[in-house]
Amino acid sequence: MAKSNAKDNGPVTRKPATRKPAAKTAKKARAKPRRRAGDGFDIRASQLPDWVADSALQSGGYPYESRLKRKEYEQELRQLQIELLKALDWIKKNGERVVVLFEGRDSAGKGGTIKRVREHLNPRSAKVVALGKPTEQERAQWYFQRYVAHFPPRGEMTLFDRSWYNRAGVEKVFGFCTQQEAGAFIAEAPGFEAILARDGKFLIKFFLTIGPEMQMKRLHARWHDPLARWKLSDLDFKAIENWEEYSAAYEHMLRHTDTAAAPWTVLRANDKRRLRLEAIRYILKMLPYGGRDARLVANIDNGIVMPAATFLNLGGEENNISWG
């Protein structure tokens, strides 16, 4: 895997806006308080606000003005899924072990992407792990232990829908762990993952990033779809109002756990179709299986896929804040 050039440049900061007085004799205006994420937005509202709908796709600096056409998406998805079958055959025949992590905000598209990766693969050899809350027994264990129990044996691939990085994200933001525990995790994760690499496992870490208005649109759609409402948890209703807290936590995670042995790959996820294609393409690129369609696999969209260092240098999660 390519060596990451991530540097600890500290948290991204923004200069506070200044206001000019209306006249020379006017008193200095008091600074206008910054608008919090989600102000004026209600998941339960019958109509999605126009300001959300109009800016959702390009929120967070997304590089495309329109979604990928369905026909083009479906044609390429089929070709990439055929390549996945070749890759899984290589994994089985050579006794390889592949672990793929999908991390990111609520509604970023983790589950849908995993579904397309696994759709035509033998479920005995390509497994999905989506763990719930830890039991009391698991809480008393070494933190990584319950995840290690789900690692693939030789000849299999495991896709984690969220992973041990819960501790760096949701647990830290909502106080489900102490600051000391969160800090210890950030310090220990690189060493843990280096052990996995030395043990011969292929470890691919994806972080899916979306803009705030896109998250609002997706959460709103889930609430108003009776078949999808089950996906909403109590924490999903707090996701928008805690946007900045998540941003700080995720940037800290990316900055301190992006290593040569286990680098992060960031995927811009506002368009789920492009997201799914590029995630599959990147997985295929990282696995040296034979008989690949080099043209199909090598055509990575650098506007969607980037190393963590590049993402952070472009402004990271802070760059996703687009409200005034």
Model confidence at 39, pLDDT cuts 50, 70, 90, reads low
Predicted pLDDT at 155: 98
Say if residue 324's pLDDT is above 60.
no
DSSP string, 95-140: T-EEEEEEEESTTSSHHHHHHHHHTTS-TTTEEEE---SPPHHHHT
Q: Which residue type is seen at 41? A: F
Instruction: Say how far apart CA 270 and CA 205 lie, in whole Å.
Output: 19
Alpha carbon of residue 150 to chain centroid: 20
pLDDT at position 126 over 60: yes
CATH for 50-320 (3.30.565.10, 3.30.470.10, 3.40.50.720, 3.40.50.300): 3.40.50.300
Average pLDDT for residues 37-48, to the nearest whole number?
80
What lies within 8 Å, CB to CB, of 292 at 6+ separation is 83, 86, 87, 284
Angle, helix 243-257 to helix 179-198, in steps of 10 degrees: 40
Strand pairing category for 97-104 and 202-209: parallel
pLDDT in tens, 87-124: 999 999 999 999 999 999 999 999 999 999 999 999 99
Displacement of CA 126 from its chain's centroid (Å): 20
Q: What is the DSSP string of 40-71?
A: T--TT-SS--HHHHHHTTTGGG-S-SSPPPHH
| Strands, E assignment, 257-321 | 264-268, 305-307
- Rounded to the nearest integer, the mean pLDDT of the chain is 88
User: Residues 235-274: pLDDT tens digits?
Assistant: 888 888 899 999 999 999 999 999 999 999 999 999 999 9
Tokens of 142: 């070494």
Interstrand relation of 202-209 and 305-307 (parallel, antiparallel or unpaired): unpaired
Q: Does residue 7 carry a pLDDT above 60?
A: no
CA–CA distance, 128 with 157 (Å, rounded to integer): 9
For residue 208, is pLDDT > 50?
yes
Distance (Å, whole) CA 68 – CA 239: 27
Average pLDDT over residues 131-156: 96
pLDDT of residue 240: 87
| 197 Cβ neighbours under 8 A, 6+ residues apart | 203, 261, 262
pTM over cut 0.75: yes
d(CA 134, CA 295): 43
pLDDT digits (tens, 9 = 90+) for 11-23: 333 343 333 333 3
pLDDT at 2 over 90: no
Give the mean model confidence (pLDDT) for residues 282-295.
Answer: 96
- Taking residues 150-171, what's their average pLDDT? 97
R_g of the chain, CA atoms, integer Å: 21
Phi, psi of 127 (to 5 degrees): -110, 150
